Structures are given as C-alpha cells and as structure tokens.
Amino acid sequence: MINWIGWVATGVFAVSYFCRQPNMLRIVQAVAALMWITYGFLIGAMPVVVATVIVALAAVYSSFAPLRDAPTT
C-alpha cells in the first residue's frame, strides 16, 4: 500500500507537465511534493524527504522571485 503513494506521486508529477497555467502547475507539483515527502517518511528514506523538501523550497522561492524583482511603475 505504501508503494502506491510513491507511484501516485510520480503520476501526479508527470501530469504537471500538461498544465498550461503556471498557477495550476505549481499547485499540482506542490501536491506531488507533499506526497513524495509523505512517502519518504513512511518508508524511512530521509534522502527522499530531504531532496524533495529542497526541491519544493527552490520551486517556491523561484515562483515568488519574479514578483520580488518585477519593475514597479
């Protein structure tokens, strides 16, 4: 049963490549990241948890970086 979480997370992440709207892409990838983190904890694989957290934080940071650097009018 636990393996299914990993497989579903993989599927959700793969589906994110079909998202046309940036906001939907971020939401789908966030859901996949949460599933991967959960999966990593359940199987006791801290490298999976840490790697996913690092990637998720980088994605969140890069999502908001354009807002911070946008020119003001």
**pTM for the whole thing?**
0.78
pLDDT tens digits along 3-44 = 999 999 999 999 989 989 888 888 888 889 999 999 999 999
Indicate whether 45 pLDDT > 70. yes
What does 11-71 look like in DSSP terms, one character per residue? HHHHHGGG--SHHHHHHHHHHHHHHHHHHHHHHT-HHHHHHHHHHHHHHHHHHHHHHHHSP
For the chain, the domains span 2-69
